[in-house]
Amino acid sequence: MECTGVYATLADRILRFVLTAFFLIGGSINLAGPLAVLSEYQSWGYPTWFHWLTGFLELATACLLIPKTTQLYAVVLGSCVMIGAAVTLAVHQSWVRTALPVFIFVLLASLFRTALSARSR
C-alpha cells in the first residue's frame, strides 16, 4: 500500500527531518572529536583525520537533504557514508551496532524512491 497526496508529502517531510537530524548530530559529534570517537577510529585502523572527513560528509548530507532539489545527491552521499559505517562495524564484528547504519541506509533508499518518482513527474 502506497501513501498518496497529503500523507505522502507529510511522510516525506518527516523522513527528511529525521534523516537530517541524524546526519547533523552524527556529523557534529564526529567533527567535535570526543576521545571516545577518536579512540574508536584509531581501533578501526583509520588515520587520525578520518573523523573530520566523516563528520564533513555527514554534515554535507544533512545540508543537501534540506532542499528537495538536492535530495538525490544527499541520498547518494549519505548511503556511501552508511555503507562505509556498516562495513567497518561488520569487519570489526560489532554486529549489534551494524544495525543502525543499515537501518539508516534503508530509510535513505526509501527517500531515494520518493525523490526519483517526484523528479520524473
pLDDT at 6: 60
Please check whether residue 51 is in contact with residue 38, taking contact to mean a CB–CB distance below 8 angstroms: yes
pLDDT at 2: 55
pLDDT at 7: 59
DSSP state at residue 68: G
pLDDT at 28: 98
Arithmetic mean of pLDDT, 72-85 = 98
Dist. CA 37–CA 54, nearest whole Å:
11
Read off the C-alpha cell for 23.
Answer: 546526519
CA angle, residues 40, 82, 65, in degrees to nearest 5: 120
Read off the C-alpha cell for 94.
Answer: 560489532
- In 87-102, which positions are buried (b, 16+ CB within 10 angstroms) versus exposed (e)? ebbeeeeeeeebeebe
CA R_g for the chain: 15
Tens of pLDDT, residues 2-51:
555 565 688 889 999 999 999 999 999 999 999 999 999 999 999 999 99
Q: Is the pTM of this model over 0.85?
A: yes
CA angle, residues 108, 111, 117, in degrees to nearest 5: 140
Across all residues in the chain, what is the average pLDDT?
Answer: 92
Helices (H) and strands (E) in the chain, counts: 5, 0
